[in-house]
Structure 1
Amino acid sequence: MLKQILISIIALAGLVSAKFSFDDIKFNEYNFTQLVDHTQGSSDKRTFNQRYFVSTDYFDKDTGPVFLYICGEGTCKPPTDRGYPVMVAKVMSAMFVVLEHRFYGSSQPFEDWQTANLHYLNATLALADLANFIDYVQSSIKAQYGGNDRKVVTIGGSYPGALSAWFKAAYQDKAVAAWSSSGVIQPIRNFDLFDTDIYTATSRSGPLCPQVIQEITTYIDTAFRNHEKGKDDDYSYILRVFGIDQVKNAGDFMFFIADIFTIGVQYGGRKELCQILMSLEFTDVKNRVPVIAQYAKNQKLDFSQYDRVALQNVTYDIDKNMRQWTWQYCTEFGWFQVPADKNPMRSAYINADYWVPYCEEVFGIKIGDPNIKYYTDTYGGLDINAKNIYFVNSIEDPWQWAGMRTIHNKDTQKDLVATLIDCNDCGHCQDLKTPSDADPPALRLARDDILLKLKGWINPTTPKERLFLE
C-alpha cells in the first residue's frame, strides 16, 4: 500500500515540470532607497540604491502573501535556475520579490570596496535591510490595493538561507515563515567536516574517485614545496597549464585546487566529476593536470578568485564578488575549509594557521578570528530561537554540516522542520532548483512537504493532506 502511495506521489509531483514555464512570468526591476547604516542611534543618514525585482503575475491583490527571495554573495537576478520557490508562489497566489544584497551587483553603498567601506558589509545590516524593505513593500501594497499587511515568507539558499532563518529569529513579527535551503546557520572556525564530506561524497562513486583527487593534490602540493626549496621540478609546468604567471602564496593556489573538486560535488555534479577523474586512473599524474585545468575553466573558476594579491583590488565591478565575500567569511563566519585529520582531500598548506594571515593581507588590517561567537549567541546557531522555519539540506552537500540536518530545539511550539534529502547528486540548494522529470523520489517528496508546510503556516486552516503543483 505504501509503495502504491509513493508511486502516486511521484507521478503527481512529476506534473510540475510539464505545467510551468518562466516564459509566463515577468519580473520588473526597481531600486529602493536603503540606509547605509541601520545602527540604533546612528546619525548617519546616507542612503544607497538597493536593487530588487518583482513579479505580480499570480498575485492575489486582495489577500495574497509576499514571497521574499533573498539574494546573497553575488549579482542578483530573478531565480530562473532556482524556480521551485516561484512555482510555489504561483500556487499560493503570492507576490514574488527578489532583493539584492548590499555590496553585490548594482546595490553598492560606495564607489569602491576599500576596507573602510566594507565595515558596512555584514549580516546584521543585511537583516536590517530586509526589515526596512519589507516595511516598504507592505506600505506599497496597502497604498495600491488597500487592506492589511500581507503575510511574508522569506526564502534563501546557502548564506541567504541563513539570512532567511536569522531574519525569522531577529524580526519574528515581520515574516510568518522562513524557507532555509542549505542555510549555513552555524558559523565555524575550522570547518574540517567540509573536507570530510568531499571524501564521503566522492566515495559514493567508489574508492578510486577520492584517490585520484588525493593523488593530484599531493602532486601539486609536492611541486610547490620543492619550488620553495629551490627545485623547479613541475612547478613551472603547473602554472603554465593553468595560465598563471606567478603565485605569491602556495596556500592560495592549493585553496583554488581544492575548490575545483569541491564545486563538482557541492552543486550536484559528483557523478560527472568522478567519471572524469576515474577515467584518468592509468594516466600519469602529471598529465592529469590539464584535464583538471579544463574542468576548472568549464566551471568558471579562476585563480584570481583566491589569490590574495588579486583580492586587494578595490575597484568596483558589477560581476565581481570575491573581495566582498572574503570579507564576510573572514570577519563574521569563518567556515575555513581545513584538511580533515583522516583521508584529507586538500593540501596541508591551507591548515588552521593559513586563514587569518590570508584575510589580514587581503584587507590590510588586523582582523583576528571571525566573530563567530556574536552570530552564535545572537541567533542560537543550531539551537535557533525562532519558529516556522523549514530547513532543507542534501546528503552530498559539504555545507550541510553548518546547517540544520536534524532539529536540535525540541520545543514543539517552535514548529521547526529539518529535511535531509538523500539521493545521488543531491547537492547545495537542491530543493530550490527548477524541477525536472529526472528528479529522484526523495527530492520530489521533500519539495512536496515544503509546499504543504508553507501553506499551513500561511493559512493554518489549510487541510493537512499532501498538495501537488498542478
Structure 2
Amino acid sequence: MLHPKGLCLPLVVLVCLIAQSSSLGFRNGRHMNGFLGQPSSMPTLQRSLDVEDLWFEQRLNHFKPDDTRTWQQRYFVNDAFYRNDSQAPVFLMIGGEGEATKNWMREGAWIHYAEHFGALCIQLEHRFYGKSHPTSDLSNSNLAYLSSEQALADLGNFVSAMKRQYNMADSQKWIAFGGSYPGSLAAWAREKYPHLIDGAISSSGPLLAQVDFTQYFEVVKASLASYKPECVEAVSRGFAQVEILLKHMIGQRNLDEKFKTCTPLKDSIENKLDIANLFENIASNFAGVVQYNKDNSPHAKITIDQICDVMLNTTMGPPVTRLGAVNDLLLKQSKTKCLDYKYDKMIAEMKNVSWDSEVAKGMRQWTYQTCTEFGFYQTSENKSDTFGDRFGIDFFIRQCMDIFSDRMNGKFLEQAVAQTNKYYGALKPGTTNVLYVHGSIDPWHALGLYVSTNSNTPAIYIEGTAHCANMYEPANCDPPQLKEARNKILKYLAKLLDGYASFASFT
C-alpha cells in the first residue's frame, strides 16, 4: 500500500536565492536554479538516506568517433527498495537545466512508485549543469557540446554501462522520468533509444519547439482569470498606467518608487531595450507565480490567489500601485533589494563564461539551448493586450546575438527550431510506451501533448494544476484530480512493468 503522509505546510526553504540586484531570477519561463524545484522537504521515511556523489566517465562528443576526450558526469543512486532480481525495474530520473538535487533521491512521487515496484532509482545530471562540467568554462566554443542530442547520447551510454555494472538481466526494464525540459528528454530517450529505455513518464514536457511562444502569456492570463476575470482586467490597467507614467519625468520617478528600480528610469527612457526588459521583468512576476501555483514546491510560495487579491484591492490605490505591490512580494521572495532592468548589465552577466559565475547555475547554458535548439520565447507584442507590446520576438533574438554571436539571428533560429521539430517529431512523436502528463495552469502545456486519442501516446491533463505538480511529494491536501493523476500514472507503470496487475491506490 502507498500512503504518502505529506502535509500542506508553509514552505520556508527557497531554491531560488539570487543576487541582491539580479535581473535573472525568472527569465524565459525558468527560475534561476531550473524549471523543476526541489521537493518540498516534507517528512518522509527517506529523509535520512545518505546519497553520495557518484561519477561516470562520459564522452565529450558522441558523434565524432575519433574524438576521445572524456569528462566526469555526476549521478545519484537510491537502492533502498531495489529487489535486485531479474524482474526488478530501474527508474531513471533525467536531470535538466539546473543542478541535480539529492532531495529527489529521498522523496517525490517517483520514490513512492519505486517502493511499490521494488525499483532501483538513479538520477543522472545533465551535461553542463550542476557539477557535471565537460569543459573548462562556458565559452561559446565549449557550449557547442551542449545539446539535447548529446544529452540523450549521454543517457544511452550511461544506461548501457549501468546494465553491465549491476549485472542486470535483459528482462529488467528501464523507465525514464523527467519534468519540464527533462520531461521532453524522457519521451525523446524512449524514441531514440528504445532498446535501452522501455517506457517513460513525461511531465510538463514541451515537445514542440517554437521561436515565438505567444501562447505562454495567453495561458498566464487564462490562469489568472480562473481565479477572477477582474484580476486580468486590473493587470491590464496596471500595465497601461505604466506606459502613461513613463511619458513624463514625474511619472518616471513615481515608477522608480513603486517598483524599487535599481537605476532611475530617467536614465533609460530613451533605451528601448531597457524599457523592454522592464516590462518583461514585471510580466514575469505573474508568469512565475502562475507556472508554479500550488505545486508543492518551494517555487510555489506565492500563489495566484495572493497576487490577484493584491491586484483587486482597490484600497491600495490605482492598478499600477498594485503592480508595484506584487513586484514587492516577488523581490522579497527572491531576497532581492531592487528591480534591475538594465539590458546591458543583463547581457554582461550572461556573457560571463566562468563556472563560478551566477549565470553558470544554468541561465547561460539554457539560454544557449533556446538560441540554438528550441526558441520558447514568451513574447507580448500586442499594444492592446494585457502585457503590452514591449517585448516581442526581436527582443529575444537580439539577446541571442548579443550574448553569443551575431550569426544567431532570426533566420538561424527558425532553421534550428525546424530541425529540432523534424528530428523529434514535435507533437506527432513516433514512439510508444510514453505517458504525457500536463497541468492546465501551466503555460508550458501549450507546447506539449496534453490531449491524445492515440493509445500509443496517452496523455493526462490535470485541471487546475501547475508545472510538474504530479512529480512532487504527495500531500493529504492535494486536490482530488492530482491524486487521481498519480493513480493513473501508477496504473500505467503497472502496465509497462509486466506482472504487476495488482497495485495499491496512490492516495
TM-score by length of 2: 0.80
Q: Indicate the residue corresponding to 1:3 in structure 2.
A: none
1:129-208 equivalence runs, <5 A: 129-142=154-167, 147-148=169-170, 150-208=172-230
Measure the CA separation in 1 of the matches of 2:244 and 2:111: 48
Measure the CA separation in 2 of the matches of 1:221 and 1:333: 31
Measure the CA separation in 1 of the matches of 2:184 and 2:364: 20
Q: Which amino acid aligns with 2:370?
A: Y
* Cα shift at 1:233: 3.6
For residue 232 of structure 1, the aligned residue among 221, 241, 249 is: 249
Measure the CA separation in 2 of the matches of 1:14 and 1:25: 19
Q: Indicate the residue corresponding to 1:396 in structure 2.
A: 441
Confirm or deny: 8 A CA contact 1:184 1:400 kept in the other structure: yes
CA change 1:305–1:391 in 2 (3 A) is: farther
Q: Specify the SS of the correspondent of 1:348.
A: coil
Q: Specify the SS of the correspondent of 1:420.
A: strand
**Which range moved further: 187-196 or 176-185?**
187-196
Q: Indicate the residue corresponding to 2:84 in structure 1.
A: 61
Q: Indicate the residue corresponding to 2:461 in structure 1.
A: 420
Q: Indicate the residue corresponding to 1:259 in structure 2.
A: 284
Q: Which amino acid aligns with 1:59?
A: Y
Q: Which amino acid aligns with 1:44?
A: D
Does residue 467 of the first structure (1) align with residue 491 of the second (2)?
no
Q: Specify the SS of the correspondent of 1:390.
A: strand
Does residue 438 of the first structure (1) align with residue 452 of the second (2)?
no
Q: Which amino acid aligns with 2:194?
A: Q
Measure the CA separation in 2 of the matches of 1:195 and 1:21: 40
Q: Indicate the residue corresponding to 1:9 in structure 2.
A: none
Measure the CA separation in 1 of the matches of 2:180 and 2:193: 20
Q: Indicate the residue corresponding to 1:338 in structure 2.
A: 379
Measure the CA separation in 1 of the matches of 2:85 and 2:283: 51
CA change 1:102–1:318 in 2 (3 A) is: farther
Q: Which amino acid aligns with 1:91?
A: H
Does residue 209 of the first structure (1) align with residue 246 of the second (2)?
no
Q: Indicate the residue corresponding to 1:452 in structure 2.
A: 491
Q: Indicate the residue corresponding to 2:19 in structure 1.
A: none
Measure the CA separation in 1 of the matches of 2:101 and 2:342: 21
Does residue 406 of the first structure (1) align with residue 451 of the second (2)?
yes
Q: Which amino acid aligns with 2:486?
A: R
Confirm or deny: 8 A CA contact 1:58 1:93 kept in the other structure: yes
**Aligned pairs, number:** 442
Q: Which amino acid aligns with 1:55?
A: N
Q: Indicate the residue corresponding to 2:70 in structure 1.
A: 47
Measure the CA separation in 2 of the matches of 1:233 and 1:308: 29
Measure the CA separation in 2 of the matches of 1:305 and 1:67: 44
Measure the CA separation in 2 of the matches of 1:61 and 1:318: 42
Confirm or deny: 8 A CA contact 1:51 1:100 kept in the other structure: yes
Confirm or deny: 8 A CA contact 2:81 2:120 kept in the other structure: yes
1:371-382 equivalence runs, <5 A: 371-382=416-427
* Cα shift at 1:254: 2.0
Q: Specify the SS of the correspondent of 1:338.
A: coil
Measure the CA separation in 2 of the matches of 1:355 and 1:257: 16
Measure the CA separation in 1 of the matches of 2:144 and 2:331: 33
Confirm or deny: 8 A CA contact 2:263 2:340 kept in the other structure: no
Measure the CA separation in 1 of the matches of 2:252 and 2:46: 48
For residue 309 of structure 2, the aligned residue among 270, 275, 296 is: 275
Confirm or deny: 8 A CA contact 1:155 1:179 kept in the other structure: yes
Measure the CA separation in 2 of the matches of 1:163 and 1:367: 24
Q: Which amino acid aligns with 1:73?
A: E
Q: Indicate the residue corresponding to 2:37 in structure 1.
A: none
CA change 1:446–1:221 in 2 (3 A) is: same
CA change 1:177–1:250 in 2 (3 A) is: same
Which sections of structure 1, spanning at least 5 residues, go unmatched?
1-11
Q: Which amino acid aligns with 2:58?
A: Q
**Which range moved further: 183-192 or 232-241?**
232-241
* Cα shift at 1:148: 4.0
Root mean square deviation of aligned Cα: 2.7
Q: Specify the SS of the correspondent of 1:383.
A: coil
Confirm or deny: 8 A CA contact 1:215 1:285 kept in the other structure: yes
Confirm or deny: 8 A CA contact 2:94 2:123 kept in the other structure: yes
* Cα shift at 1:21: 3.1
* Cα shift at 1:66: 1.0
For residue 95 of structure 1, the aligned residue among 115, 120, 123 is: 120
For residue 351 of structure 1, the aligned residue among 392, 395, 398 is: 392
Which sections of structure 2, spanning at least 5 residues, go unmatched?
8-42, 294-302
For residue 98 of structure 2, the aligned residue among 70, 74, 86 is: 74
* Cα shift at 1:191: 1.2
For residue 311 of structure 1, the aligned residue among 350, 356, 378 is: 350
Q: Indicate the residue corresponding to 1:360 in structure 2.
A: 401
Q: Specify the SS of the correspondent of 2:484.
A: helix
Q: Specify the SS of the correspondent of 2:163.
A: helix
Measure the CA separation in 1 of the matches of 2:292 and 2:422: 30
- What do the CA deviations read for 1:171-212 (whole angstroms, capped 9, x no partner)? 111111100000111111211111111111100111221123
Measure the CA separation in 2 of the matches of 1:125 and 1:210: 42
Measure the CA separation in 2 of the matches of 1:378 and 1:291: 45
Q: Which amino acid aligns with 2:466?
A: G
CA change 1:86–1:77 in 2 (3 A) is: same
